[in-house]
Chain A
Amino acid sequence: MGAARTAPVRPAWQEPPRRITTVAKGVVIAAITLVMLYPFVYVIAISFSAADAARSGDTLLIPAEFSLAAYRTIFAGDVVTRALLVSAGVTLVGTLLSVVMTVTLAYGLTRTREVPGSRFVLYLVLFTMLFGAGIIPNYLLVKELGLLDTYASLILPGAVSAFNLVVVRNFFMNLPQELFDSARIDGASEAQILWRIVVPLSKAVIAVIALFYGVAYWNDFFNAMIYLNDSEKWPIQLVLQQYVLQGSPLDQMAVSGQVEAAPKTIQMAVVVVATVPILLVYPFLQRFFTKGVLTGAIKG
């Protein structure tokens, strides 16, 4: 018979939570979730409401009078459809280009010993995180490059984000040096090392920056507003801005008589159309998200 065994002492945070604590946490989280979700639910409900029902304030969670009229209206012309295609194209091409440029640049900047001047380039990149040129110098640059009124003007000015570059570079710096050494012993070129070793090991961080880039391209309206003259090239966010914000200046700024704001149902329908596509991307990249950001951000 041995000595009486004492239960191991567990720190407080390892104690099983009390039921009331669990319930309280659940309630708080549910409340926060509801607060976050309600605007989306409201927007969707309004978009599916009849215009009169939306105007009267009867629609709160579900449409007081269900109607697809708003969606029929916005898809009746080509404006929204074309803008969606423009946004999709810019987002796909831009994201692909940005990821390629970021990954290759980040890899180059990890080889500070092999690549002459790489540290200087790194400082140049970091400089842009601290100081922006401003609207007009950027505009002049785009103009001199002959990119005004082209889709390229929506992509190239923001093709490489310094923040994303730092995240990816730090991720790469954390990869075991032995992998690189053994690859070189086996005769791999730098391109092969990047493509066959670094990229497969960096799927998480690449997925995350792809998401960052994708969301940024999808949501961007400012570049389009500044660089595009042809409104038929407008992306969905610029169209959305017109629909949603147009009502405000009409009475406020004393523009009278001639133009009327779109009904709230149409405004909200455009919000839904502009939001849902990018929301659909999140679930597919969610599993990479935390790992990718944290690994790249805190190690290096």
Chain B
Amino acid sequence: MTTSRPLPGGGLSRRRFLGGLAGLGAGAYLLSSCSSGGSGPTSGGTAGGGTGFSLPDYAAPRDLAGATISDVPGVLPAYEQFPLPPFKSVAQPPGRGGTVTSLHPLFTAPPDDLQGSEVFQAFQRGLNVTLEPTYTPIGSYENKLATVLAGGSIPDITWVNTETVPAAVSYFQQGAFADLSDVLGGDGVSAYPNLAQLPSYAWRNCAVEGVLYGVPRGIPLLNNSVALYRADWAAALGFPEAPADAAEYLELMTAFSKGAPRGSGQSWGAAVLDAGFVRQMFRVPNEWRLEEDGTLTHYVESDEYRAALEFHLQEFDAGVYHPDATMGGDTYTRAIDLLQSGQTGFYAGSLNAQFALRRPGTLTGDPGSDVQPLAPPGHDGGDPLTYEQRGYYGMAAISAEAAQDDARLHELLGIVDYWSAPFGSEEYVLVNYGLEGRQVTFEDSGQLVPVPPDQAPAEALVPYLTQVRETLFYFPGAQADAGLAQGAMETVVRSSAPNPVTGLISDTAIRQGAALGQLNNDYETGIVTGQRSLDELDEWRDRWRSGGGDAMRREFQDALERVDS
């Protein structure tokens, strides 16, 4: 095992970096779930299971009218109205008038005439810097990041995500980015009030073996546990209540396919294999399970997973899935189209998107529909095992070279602080929506109303970085859905468990993780669709173990011991 301790601070020489690239895969890997410990946004303490930096001290958000703060740890706040007028969250522009370079992922069409955008100009004025962002398609981000770092011209601020770019852990260890543990840990974060309001779980989980390399972009800690289903179909088919166990769930999904809830039009239960949802129903381990004797069991090896597979096979045989469910290509867009055009009755997606996009999209696409959240029922009527995940989607890392100058580091963190402006602030509106009168308007009743895209000016918005929009529930135009989402999250949080190896490093995982993931996916899809026999599960497990699974287990167990000691 070649895992090395992080090298705090310090510049990154090209030789060191290229040496690291030669060993890509021999570096480190950060699993994509969540760590042990408290899950609440306010839980403090230390990262990495007791070692490493002190978590930034959490500052509660302002007490805003229309806010509902759940007393269940880990559940996001819900807002049913927007405070008017918005308050200022940044007292002074953080910049010193110079230039700041940055690298961002791009999920949408490229921006048109960046410098001509009034939103972008307003953002630059707010920061008091000239911002030079580089946009990179998310699908190509790994290559772009590798080349940019190899070229030695690391931007001042870089969005880095170890989930989409596992090799990024190597970049951290080689010193490409600043170690922010001391700067932001404990009460250090108080110099950046907006950052202090970021959920503690996001800080904790984005640390790499106890070292903080960036400011996380927070998302819900349980992001893939709440599905949407057609409650109107269910009621019409004789299921007025949500399914309470696996049998009822199967009965409902089969009825969606076979019960003709659309009348003459064909319908199906789901458009994508709902593997994650079924696994949670059957209490399959959240990637790994830490046994009492200190060993780790991978989900593929568990008895619960076998039971989940058997059930999944039943679903497939019952015709629950759309015929294209196992087709390649853009399965998610296809699934969303089918849901929103009223052809499927179930969709498991990310939590905020379910309420911000999928639910309203379905209500519009199939008028008269009633779409409700659905938590996975325990397969036997008991509790499910819902999955805590990473709780962040990438982080804003500061170039180690830029961070050598304390004043510059403070300036750059101030800029990220602006980017992380909290709900209700002027800056929040700017970085998440745009400008009043152009991209948003405000109603006197206390609502923010986004201007429909086809009526808003086609201009570049603020680049994707650490906006906090996904760390709260606020849905303009459907204010009551905030409470609905919060209630759904409270339900799934109560039976949640973390992945015990989050934040730990395994060299084998970075080398073999993708291949093993593909192996698992191939076998799972093959078995569920009947192309393979369930009897092949033992062979699958053997191949997984010999292909790197056992090595990963050893390395993670070593890391757990290291952290414990």
Q: Give A residues with C-beta under 8 Å from B.
A: 52, 55-57, 73, 76-79, 135-136, 139-140, 143, 148, 222, 225-226, 229-232, 234, 238-239, 241-262, 264
Contact = CB atoms under 8 A, between A and B. Distances in A.
Interface string B317-341: 0000000000000111100111011
A227 to B, nearest CB: 8
B237 interface: no
B163 A253 contact: yes
B350 interface: yes
A264 B337 CA distance: 9
Contact of A140 (B138, B151, B454, B470): B151
Contact of A79 (B112, B139, B224): B112
A148 B224 CA distance: 40
Interface in B104-157: 106-114, 134-140, 143-144, 146-147, 150-151, 153
Interface string B16-36: 001001000000000000000
A260 B357 contact: yes
B31 to A, nearest CB: 15
Contacts of B185: none
Contacts of B341: 52, 55-57
A243 B151 CA distance: 28
A247 B224 contact: no
B109 A243 contact: yes
Contacts of A251: 332, 336, 349-350, 353
Contacts of B153: 143
B18 to A, nearest CB: 7
Given A232-B114, A242-B110, A247 B458 contact: no
Given A251-B350, A258-B432, A239 B110 contact: yes
Nearest to B134: A229
17 contacts: A55-B341, A57-B343, A79-B110, A225-B144, A231-B106, A231-B110, A231-B134, A241-B139, A241-B140, A246-B107, A246-B138, A250-B353, A251-B336, A251-B350, A253-B163, A257-B357, A257-B469
Nearest to B453: A260
A43 B140 CA distance: 24
Given A135-B146, A232-B110, A246-B107, 5 more contacts: A57-B343, A73-B454, A230-B134, A254-B389, A257-B353
Q: Among B140, B143, B146, which residue has the most Cβ atoms of chain A within 10 A? A: B140
Given A248-B332, A256-B351, A264-B337, A226 B147 contact: yes
Contacts of B21: 136
Nearest to A53: B341
Nearest to A225: B140
B356 interface: yes
A253 B393 contact: yes
A154 to B, nearest CB: 15
Nearest to B220: A256
B343 A56 contact: yes
Contacts of A247: 330, 332-333, 336
A262 B147 contact: no
A125 B336 CA distance: 49
B219 interface: yes
B502 to A, nearest CB: 15
B68 interface: no
Contacts of B151: 139-140, 143, 148
B10 interface: no
B500 to A, nearest CB: 20
Contacts of B254: none
B353 A256 contact: yes
A79 B109 contact: yes
Contacts of B332: 247-248, 250-252
Interface of B: 18, 21, 106-114, 134-140, 143-144, 146-147, 150-151, 153, 163-164, 219-220, 223-224, 330-333, 336-338, 340-341, 343, 349-354, 356-357, 365, 389, 393, 432, 454, 458, 464, 467, 469-470
A222 B223 CA distance: 32
A241 B354 CA distance: 25
A246 B108 contact: yes
A229 B220 CA distance: 32
Nearest to A227: B147
Contacts of B139: 241, 245, 248-249
Most buried by B among A231, A239, A245: A231
A274 B125 CA distance: 37
A56 B339 CA distance: 9
B143 A226 contact: yes
A99 B412 CA distance: 48
B137 A226 contact: no
A-B pairs, 8 with minimum CB distance: A256-B352, A247-B333, A257-B352, A256-B353, A231-B110, A139-B147, A256-B350, A257-B356
A77 B219 contact: no
A148 B101 CA distance: 15
A79 B340 CA distance: 28
A79 B220 CA distance: 33
Contact of B340 (A55, A231, A241, A252): A55
A172 B340 CA distance: 60
B113 A242 contact: no
Contact of A239 (B109, B219, B351, B470): B109
Nearest to B140: A225
B137 A255 contact: no
A259 B147 contact: no
B357 A139 contact: no
Nearest to B149: A136
B276 to A, nearest CB: 11
A136 B107 CA distance: 24
A250 B150 CA distance: 28
A238 B220 CA distance: 31
A247 B139 CA distance: 11
Contacts of A73: 454
B111 A231 contact: yes
B356 A245 contact: no
Contact of A242 (B108, B134, B220, B223): B108
B109 A78 contact: no
A247 B467 CA distance: 20
A136 to B, nearest CB: 4
A151 B163 CA distance: 32
A119 B341 CA distance: 64
Contacts of B469: 257-258
